[in-house]
Structure 1
Amino acid sequence: MNDDLPDISRLASLLADPGRSRMLLALLDGRMLPASDLAEAAGLSAQAASNHLARLLDGGVLRVEPRGRYRYYMLMDSSMAHAIEALAAAAHGGDLQRPRLRPKGNAELRLARTCYRHLAGRLGTALCAAMEEEGYLKPHTTAHGFIITETGIGWLREALDIDCNAPGSRSPLMARACLDWSERRDHLAGPLGEALCTAFLTHALVARRSGNRSLEVTDAGGEFLRQHFALTL
């Protein structure tokens, strides 16, 4: 059939394999990882991982960069990360109707983690909701996201050194919303989400943990959230 509809079945077939999906979830924090790390994350042999990675590269899901002796893999772009996060949310959507089931993910991941360079988990969703409540964000009337208000522009600059009006700034006045798979609420994605995550790391409000994409909210981060939003995670 010849039409202008995108062929989502091709992408869906690439994401359907459990091994490939585990490798993609391991890349959701925006890092570049070698094949050996991805094989370990997916519980696959080196040969099997190599075959899966080749298919994901051919399908445009991943890209690769040679660095010295090694090749490092990453998600193709933020829209691919957004699609994977949305699928993770949909995969666990039935949990809301089954309250006796344990929440998905460990406690550290549910509290705070990176989702392709933005803040996710309870930290990310609470920050998004608090910024809207304070008037720093307002819902966009047509797109699924938020508009950064003038008050919000001022707060971002004063509190986190994020200048939305700087020449060449990648933080436009439109902020995208991303459905969080563990919280089933929105966290901030896109350039603003990336800028917030970078600022939280730069100001040591959060710190990366080794072994997964969870984040530790530092003492300084806890004080920041209490002072600006009366938030306690």
Structure 2
Amino acid sequence: MKEGPDIARVAALIGDPARANMLTALMSGRALTATELALEAGVTAQTASSHLAKLHEGGIVAARKQGRHRYFTLDNPDIVELLENLMGIAQRTGHNRVRTGPKDPALRKARICYDHLAGEMGVALFENLQQRQFIVFDDSGEMRISKQGAAFVQDFGLDLVQMRQMRRPLCRECLDWSMRRSHLAGALGAGLLQRMFELGWARKSNESRVIDFTPTGEKAFYDLFAALPNN
């Protein structure tokens, strides 16, 4: 008998086309009902409920009831990372959706990856923080925020003490499917994006995972997080 984690079961749960469409929809970070996810998957409500029961049992999605409705979200940040990595593999190997549209360039520019910024602007943010040594790697390869990085984050209006107390990594790499480079996840990545929303730099699209930056917000973003020249 084979021992160890059963990756085939996880792959089967994610790999069904209808379930994959549901999980992609949940990458927006919004909690969605079975009816909403049925529309995303192109299946009946009954079929969607069956799929969601399997995903919930398998630990892929979490469910909570509010009023008459039951809402679903991705169960854990590591599920988000797994899905983003799979999207990158699909992109790299040419397994793309047949239909493309005007949202595609916008998705590649700036989109939400569950609760943090992804796309060109997400990668630019992460690389800027690294170049300025606000985020560094210790001898064990673990990512951490530096002393000067902590001062920057607090000046930007984030409560670093509160973020350190969360039951999730403070900062973590997430491989960006469209850029094939990393963007910033974890509590810090989520906090920075939320702060941009609070400042009025950007807003979440109601129709997709696109993050719409205002012209003023985009300028403020690149004034603060522009790529630095190589020495």
Measure, in 2, the Cα distance between the counterparts of 1:49 and 1:167: 35
Measure, in 1, the Cα distance between the counterparts of 2:178 and 2:89: 10
Corresponding residue for residue 189 of structure 1:
185
Corresponding residue for residue 118 of structure 1:
116
Shift of 1:14: 0.4
Shift of 1:166: 4.7
Please give the per-residue CA displacement for 1:79-137, whole angstroms capped at 9, x wherever unaligned.
11111111111121235xxxxxx89x711111111111011111111100111112211
8 A Cα contact 2:124 2:225, kept in partner? no
Find 1:205's aligned residue among 181, 186, 201.
201
8 A Cα contact 2:168 2:186, kept in partner? no
Find 1:216's aligned residue among 208, 212, 216.
212
Partner SS for 1:183? coil
8 A Cα contact 1:171 1:195, kept in partner? no
Displaced runs of 4 or more, over 3 A: 139-143, 165-174
* Deviation larger for 70-79 or 168-177: 168-177
Measure, in 2, the Cα distance between the counterparts of 1:169 and 1:110: 32
**Structure 1 residues 171 and 59, CA gap change in structure 2 (3 angstroms):** closer
Measure, in 2, the Cα distance between the counterparts of 1:174 and 1:191: 5
Measure, in 2, the Cα distance between the counterparts of 1:119 and 1:153: 19
Partner SS for 2:63? strand
Please give the per-residue CA displacement for 1:138-191, whole angstroms capped at 9, x wherever unaligned.
234434x63211111111111x21132358643988521000111111011111
Measure, in 1, the Cα distance between the counterparts of 2:58 and 2:127: 36
**Structure 1 residues 34 and 57, CA gap change in structure 2 (3 angstroms):** same
**Structure 1 residues 41 and 172, CA gap change in structure 2 (3 angstroms):** closer
Pairwise mapping of residues 100-179 of structure 1 onto structure 2 (< 5 A)? 106-143=104-141, 146-158=143-155, 160-166=156-162, 169-170=165-166, 175-179=171-175
Partner SS for 2:171? strand
8 A Cα contact 2:111 2:209, kept in partner? yes
Measure, in 2, the Cα distance between the counterparts of 1:149 and 1:126: 19
**Structure 1 residues 167 and 114, CA gap change in structure 2 (3 angstroms):** closer
8 A Cα contact 1:65 1:71, kept in partner? yes
**Structure 1 residues 171 and 49, CA gap change in structure 2 (3 angstroms):** closer
Matched AA of 1:152 = G
Corresponding residue for residue 52 of structure 2:
53
Corresponding residue for residue 98 of structure 1:
none
**TM-score, normalised relative to structure 1:** 0.86
Shift of 1:78: 0.9
Is residue 88 of structure 1 aligned with residue 92 of structure 2? no
CA RMSD in angstroms comes to 2.4
Pairwise mapping of residues 63-102 of structure 1 onto structure 2 (< 5 A)? 63-95=62-94
Show structure 2 runs of 5+ residues with no match: 95-99
**Structure 1 residues 126 and 196, CA gap change in structure 2 (3 angstroms):** same
8 A Cα contact 1:27 1:74, kept in partner? yes
**TM-score, normalised relative to structure 2:** 0.87
